[in-house]
Amino acid sequence: ALLTRTHINYGVKGDVAVIRINSPNSKVNTLNKEVQSEFVEVMNEIWANDQIRSAVLISSKPGCFVAGADINMLASCTTPQEAARISQEGQKMFETLEKSPKPVVAAISGSCLGGGLELAIACQYRIATKDRKTVLGVPEVLLGILPGAGGTQRLPKMVGVPAVFDMMLTG
């Protein structure tokens, strides 16, 4: 039997793992240490399971894929080294996802912002609803923070330089 986790669970339909993000006691999903830890565990299980050939990443929150990184995680840093470590851990997680031996699809419905967008662009494929609530962006730049988990490298390849300048300068 698969473990029940607090933030991320998955089930298997045929040969596809359906990964659900659902942070408890919150209207939105955010990337924090617990989510990152559970995500790495889940992905390792999926990669090790020969019966699973691909995965789909979805949110159980209506109107929100992932709203971004948990800003409180950064605000609690007392040294530049702590902030750098958080960024490096995110970069490592998304680089591993990007190099996944099995295709991973981000099924985006609702807000997909900041770290949530970085998560989606690290997947091999993305699909998004045309709902008005579905928005993609990097609003952390409005707080003076650059996308810290590889988004500055992946996003230009995905949307092109003119579009990425608009996103990086306006959020």
Q: Token pair 């590889």 is at which residue? A: 150
- Containing 12, the helix (H) or strand (E) segment is strand 8-13
Q: Active site residue: 41, 45, 89, 140, which one?
A: 140
98 is catalytic: no
Cα–Cα distance measured from residue 41 to residue 95, given in angstroms and rounded to the nearest whole number: 15
Ramachandran sector of residue 12 (left: φ over 0; alpha: ψ -120 to 50; beta: rest): beta
Torsion, CA 111, CA 115, CA 117, CA 123, rounded to 10: -130
Q: Which of 34, 82, 89, 118 is catalytic?
A: 118
Please say if 118 is a catalytic residue: yes
Which residues are annotated as catalytic?
Answer: 118, 140
